[in-house]
Structure 1
Amino acid sequence: MTFYQKEISRIKNICYSNKSQIDRVVGTRHFIIHNFEKELNLNLLSRVRCTSKFHLLRLYKLYYGQTPKQYLIEKRLEAAKQLLSRGLSITDTCYDIGFESPCSFSTLFKARFGLSPKEYQKKATFTKSNHS
């Protein structure tokens, strides 16, 4: 084992030494991945993972560098791109991926991708028709 491999192993043992914490955080992420279109909040996620919501929030941020809500929004917005590319309406896309308001969905989408959902959909449709 090289010096660098030993150092990586040493640091990994310090940072990721608590297997139950890792399982809890990874389990939370998997739950979000498989249920992102549903109404999810920190209370529900903490009940599913049998931990306090504040502890879960700290652990998630520690291991992933973002909160569960930030990841949930990211996951939903990525799914929105796929649905919009297929021609689904903006309103239907909004509700299908778990947002409660087309206005907030559009605002978050534009902030994340630099285009409104309508602009993105037009661009995706144009690109798809030029490659066909």
Structure 2
Amino acid sequence: MTYYQQQLQQLQARLYPQPEVGDRLRRARHLIDRQFADPLDLGQLAAAACYSRFHFLRQFKRYYGCTPHEYLRTVRLAHARRALLAGQSVRDVCFAAGFDSVSSFSGLFREWAGCSPAAFRQRRAKSNFGEAGS
């Protein structure tokens, strides 16, 4: 085994110590992916991974590079983006993506996408209209 292979193996062992850790964390991530519109809390996600809440939080961040809440927010915003592109109303998208209020959704979406959901939708509608008129 070369020096670089040894270094890579040591790094992998430090970052991903046991395969079952990844399996447990993937169960929680898949729960988020499937049920992102539902109200999910840290306790539910930790239970899916068979960890205590705080240990789960640390492990998830270590493994994925973000907290479970950050991952859930990203999944919800990505779903909202697709729904806005499909022409759904901002209000419908907000609640279908699992957000509690249109104003908080709009603020998060603006921070994430660089414009409000309504502006994003209008911009997309104009570009589609321009393509259809060509």
Alignment of 1:92-131 (within 5 A): 92-131=92-131
Alignment of 1:2-41 (within 5 A): 2-41=2-41
Q: Structure 1: state its 5+ residue gaps.
A: none
Worse overlay, 93-102 or 38-47: 38-47
8 Å CA contact 2:24–2:48 kept in 1: the answer is: no
Structure-1-length-normalised TM-score: 0.92
Structure-2-length-normalised TM-score: 0.91
Worse overlay, 24-33 or 68-77: 24-33
1:32-75 per-residue CA deviation (whole Å, 9 max, x = no partner) reads 11111111110111122222111100000111111000010011
Runs of 4 or more above 6 Å deviation: none
Q: Structure 2: state its 5+ residue gaps.
A: none
% identity of equivalent residues: 36
Per the alignment, residue 73 of structure 2 pairs with 73
Check 1:130–1:51 CA distance in 2 against 1; reply closer, same or farther (3 A cut).
Answer: same
**SS class of match (1:37):** coil
Per the alignment, residue 43 of structure 1 pairs with 43
Alpha-carbon distance, 1:24 to partner: 1.4
Worse overlay, 11-20 or 71-80: 11-20
Matched residues, number: 132
RMSD: 1.4
Letter in 1 for 2:123: K
